Structure 1
Amino acid sequence: MNSEKIMVCVYYGPNGERLIRRGIHLSQLIQSPLCVLSVIDHPIDEMDQQEEKYVEAWRKLTEEAGGTFVLLESHGQEAADIIASTAQKHDVTQLIIGQSAQTRWQEIMKGSIVNDLLEKLGAIDLHIVAVQRMQAQLEETHEEGVDVEVVQTTRGYEIAYETYGRPIVIEGIFFKDMHTDFDNGLLKLCINGEYQYLKVFKGKLMDELVLEPQSL
């Protein structure tokens, strides 16, 4: 073993396995330890069946290669902060993350995670791996999209199939995760002419919804 240490960051979806295999290949090539990190924005015991399936597959793949798998709750922290602190804790020298050519994963993970990581990682080398386009991924992991409205409630912003007279904040298309009874999935919105995908958990938007103020 040399002084190099590799960490792979995986986010919900089928691209995680590809990223882990990339990390395994690199760790075997340079004979270095491997750590795989996944950060979720809700309690671990509230993961749905599909999330548990991915996590267990990632853990098995990582441990079979002799690596360490780490699953953390964000507790409201920014993903970049958690990734950077975990990398420093494990003395990581090379970090691998995925980035979609169409939507960029940072749109889901609040802001430009690549830029944030570059500021926080210091001397750690950052590898950005192109992953599958969002639309192709949705077809594999989510049900067909349905039209929904976003309304504001005491819980924050939520998706609604019927508004029952409540003011509509914005309209979008909701892609529900397969194999779950809850409204978990991704919400596709068109904001200022650009498409964004926001994480939805039990009907509530987990990512920040930023809209331009309306003219009076």
Structure 2
Amino acid sequence: MDTPCNESILVCVYYGPNGERLIKRGCKIANLMQAPLYILTIDPKPFDELDAEKVFYIEQWKEYANTHATAQFMMKDNESRPVSKVIAEVARENNITQIILGQTAHSRWEQITKGSIINALVREIPFVDLHIISVARYIRDEEGIYEKGIRAYLIKDGDRYNLSFNHHKDTLYEGIFFKEADTDFNHGIFRFMKDDETLQVQVTEGIVTELKNVDLQTAMIRDNADES
């Protein structure tokens, strides 16, 4: 696609809430430059082998792409090649001039490829601008406080919401539940989409009292106080 400044933006996202921030940054740059926007994620596993948590984020990214007139979501699954090779290939095929990467995704992909993705991209596509965005750590990296996310649902019950792991006709919200480690109760964080915004709410013994976005550090401090 030809644009007034002949720019094309590629946002590379990895699983976790940081993807939303990277995509919004990409949308902002694309709007300013009147440029097409591409959103890319890469996974070594086939799509049909991905867990509910990963599928949830992929669905979110597709929705974000649909809200931008010139955006396109792309997924490279069952991919055994180094991530830098795949990104470079996508960049060439779509005449990408600027690539946006998150710091967390960079670190994760370094582990996968056993090398620096930044240095590899500079060698592969030296004339593409790279933007490295500093982002907060993914919830699973918070010192092992939360277990792996699983698909869950919220059901309205009076002035509160009950957490369920089965879909019911009365289900209001579908999302991912991150249970606190080392507990037999359903304490943790429920992350879901509401009005095109990602929210994470506190769950205590399987109950959400209000749909108020919580800061993870605040939630952890409160939990530690309860334990003492």
TM tier relative to shorter chain: 0.5 to 0.7
- Alignment check: 8 A CA contact 2:42 2:79 kept: no
Give 1:99's match in structure 2, choosing from 68, 91, 103. Answer: 103
Are residues 1:49 and 2:20 paired? Answer: no
Q: 1:38 to 1:27 in 2, by over 3 A?
A: same
* Cα drift, residue 76 of structure 1: 1.2
Corresponding residue for residue 74 of structure 2 = 70
One-letter amino acid of the counterpart of residue 5, structure 1: S
Q: Deviations over 1:81-128 (max 9, x none)?
A: 000000100111111111149x93343332211111111112111111
Per the alignment, residue 34 of structure 2 pairs with 31
In the alignment, the residues of structure 1 paired with residue 148 and residue 61 of structure 2 have an alpha-carbon distance, to the nearest angstrom, of 18
2: CA distance between counterparts of 1:16 and 1:22?
10
Structure possessing the higher radius of gyration over alpha carbons: 2
Separation (CA, whole Å) in 2 of partners of 1:76 and 1:120: 17
Shift of 1:138: 3.0
TM-score (norm 2): 0.59
In the TM superposition, residue 137 of structure 1 has moved relative to its aligned partner by 5.4
Moved beyond 6 Å, runs of 4+: none
CA distances 1:8-43 after superposition (whole Å, capped 9, x unpaired):
000111111110000000000111000000001100
Contact 1:99 1:128 in 2 (8 A): yes
CA offsets, 1:156-197, max 9 Å, x none?
Answer: xxxxxxxxxxxxxxxxxxxx42107xxxxxxxxxxxxxxxxx
Contact 1:6 1:35 in 2 (8 A): yes
TM-score, with structure 1 as normaliser: 0.62
Identity %: 36
Equivalent residue runs for 1:155-166 within 5 Å: none
Aligned residue in 2 for 1:177:
148
Q: Structure 1 residue 84 and structure 2 residue 55: aligned?
A: no
Q: Tell me if 1:21 matches 2:24.
A: yes
Structure in which a larger fraction of residues adopt helix: 2
Unaligned runs of 5+ in 1: 146-175, 181-216
The alpha carbon displacement at 1:53 in A equals 0.6
How far apart, in 1, do the equivalents of 2:140 and 2:23 lie?
A: 17
Matches of 1:69 and 1:18 in 2, distance apart?
15
Stretches of structure 2 lacking an aligned partner (at least 5 in a row):
152-228
Question: Aligned AA for 2:93?
Answer: K
Letter in 1 for 2:64: L
